[in-house]
Structure 1
């Protein structure tokens, strides 16, 4: 079979004596592959896809266990049960006040949930003629007082033959690979709970500076942030779909995005593209939209200008307080959706 799954040691992490296991999902004929760290937040550490005769490393992530633990950018992290910032780490839910750990001390906020460094369990892996798939779970029992709501988070990464995605402009004759991420969260507790999911990838084209790139954004509503707290001000601007030149363009902006396409099953999606003129290539990141889906996004250009974060989210910044995009799960209820990345 052209697709296969293998493992290798990664680590050990500074707090452990044994290396954690890195899973490698690869297409042995094309050289394309992804690597995943179930033992550290189910982090997708590497994504390498092919276009024509060239392979492109598409994710900027820490290279060593020490760098992974010390990383404050949340590179490629899964974000749950909240995304982006919660003001002062304090929120109200059903007339009760909760306080989360502050992990953005410079702005006095809690940020990006708390599953990004947790140990996930591999529950399924499969390699076939058309894909390699790895499924992991994190079973949270409600032990943190700031979020005492149990849940089961399931993440599936799949390296799949690109034409099988049947999304956007993927062509039937294109047999190269693409990444698909599926997530599902179930409320396993006895009460309702607030919920929001996101992913925090930093994209690049094999170390090429992003000042050389263009960013193609769908129609959207831009959400203004306070420059000091980076929390929403309540000001919103509708912006048409456009192509931005990233040269000297600084972004740290959330959007509520509009669908750009529709699946055969009538569900909708939006796609954002990072374009390298040098290589005549386009990285396409797609997110499922619709009720309870990934209707928000943040774009962020880090100071080093070596990558760009394009973050699909189910809610706005500070959603646990402003309610914008927030999902409330009943006992046994689910929050689920899909994300994909391909080259055009």
Structure 2
């Protein structure tokens, strides 16, 4: 039933005559015997919660602050108990609005960094708002504090779905393009699934686009955790200035090199307070058309839980690893960020998505617990 529901929603979202602002279901809820979509709030923020009523697994989405994925709770394959998968804001609305760590945020129409906030597209220069004031870069997109519209929702016997939509109207500083985005959040017995669809609603003009996600996956001790990239492909490290993830502006130099840091099956290393520091981007070398999905796992040796991030290879060939949460925020978590294009792709053009008039793009990733 849920598959048919998702296909029906996909058809609705693909219709050029349907706008994300054409429907609003903020106050409604949906329930069946096994799955439900219910409302929640903390502070002045409002959430849609997808819940498995039998297992109590859930996914919480803040739809009036960028559609960020606030919480994922799944049942451990090891203990059978609920496990918080990602770092949350602990129901602190002020923390959400301060946005100090970008946790859980969907990043678009650009992800990661744009050098000095300036880029050229179609022989015109644009200046984006600065978000990293230390390095003076634009960062992580424009949707993080926007209110999304609840386009549709449904609970069935095999899952719960919420669809959110947003229209860029061309009024954003540095992004004068008409872009429609549709987010589909699904909770099933297999785990959490997310799909993003972007559509250029201009008839003739092209537009640039990039998308990513910024989750922090919780572990017991970062230094002991083992991150393993998909071994069906080799991985290129994206080099940055000074060949350093600390003494650098974190803008790609254009060079890459093969590396196997996350295919060895070894712990991240370092200490509990100061794990080995990674703020590094990689790209799969295998043609994404030949690999439908790339699977990255985080093994927690303390609990024996395995968290699995599955990203669509054709849409999300990049993966950024950040282990600085322990030192910067005092949280034992590893950020694994799937991205559609390289950092600063608005300038280096490496996998920048260019949508022509009325053209669409779709990408998907998912999260589950394994044993």
Give the drift of 1:247: 2.5
C-alpha distance after superposition, 1:216-274 (max 9, x if no partner): 11331001122321111223111343324122221100011256999xxx761101100
| TM-score, normalisation: structure 2 | 0.82
1:59 aligns to what? 86
1:173 aligns to what? none
1:198 aligns to what? 212
How do residues 133-152 of structure 1 correspond to structure 2 at under 5 angstroms?
A: 133-152=161-180
Contact residue 159 and residue 187 of structure 2 kept, 8 A: yes
**The 10-residue stretch of structure 1 (181-190 or 84-93) with the greater mean CA deviation from structure 2:** 181-190
Give the drift of 1:6: 0.9
1:238 aligns to what? 258
Unaligned 5+ segments in structure 1 are 13-19, 163-177
Contact residue 200 and residue 309 of structure 1 kept, 8 A: yes
Moved segments of 4+, more than 3 Å = 258-262
1:106 aligns to what? 134
Aligned pair partner of 1:32 in 51, 54, 57: 57
1:320 aligns to what? 346
- C-alpha distance in structure 2 between counterparts of 1:305 and 1:215, whole Å: 17
Aligned pair partner of 2:309 in 273, 282, 285: 285
2:26 aligns to what? none
Give the drift of 1:280: 1.7
C-alpha distance after superposition, 1:18-57 (max 9, x if no partner): xx32111111111211111110100110100002422110
Are residue 7 (structure 1) and residue 39 (structure 2) matched? Answer: yes
Give the drift of 1:101: 0.7
Q: Secondary structure at the match of 2:306?
A: strand
How do residues 126-137 of structure 1 correspond to structure 2 at under 5 angstroms?
A: 126-137=154-165
- C-alpha distance in structure 2 between counterparts of 1:186 and 1:39, whole Å: 21
2:227 aligns to what? 215
**Measured at CA, do residues 93 and 221 of structure 1 come closer, stay the same or move farther in structure 2, by a change above 3 Å?**
same
1:42 aligns to what? 67
C-alpha distance after superposition, 1:168-206 (max 9, x if no partner): xxxxxxxxxx0000000001124101111111111114x
C-alpha distance after superposition, 1:287-327 (max 9, x if no partner): 0012xx11111000122351111000000010000000101
2:188 aligns to what? 160
Are residue 335 (structure 1) and residue 349 (structure 2) matched? Answer: no
1:70 aligns to what? 98
Q: Secondary structure at the match of 1:118?
A: coil
Contact residue 258 and residue 270 of structure 1 kept, 8 A: no
Contact residue 48 and residue 60 of structure 2 kept, 8 A: yes
Give the drift of 1:120: 0.3
- C-alpha distance in structure 2 between counterparts of 1:300 and 1:8, whole Å: 30
Which protein has the bigger helix share? 2
- C-alpha distance in structure 2 between counterparts of 1:72 and 1:244, whole Å: 30
Contact residue 209 and residue 305 of structure 1 kept, 8 A: no
**Measured at CA, do residues 341 and 140 of structure 1 come closer, stay the same or move farther in structure 2, by a change above 3 Å?**
same
Give the number of equivalent residue pairs: 315
**Measured at CA, do residues 47 and 258 of structure 1 come closer, stay the same or move farther in structure 2, by a change above 3 Å?**
farther
Q: Secondary structure at the match of 1:203?
A: strand
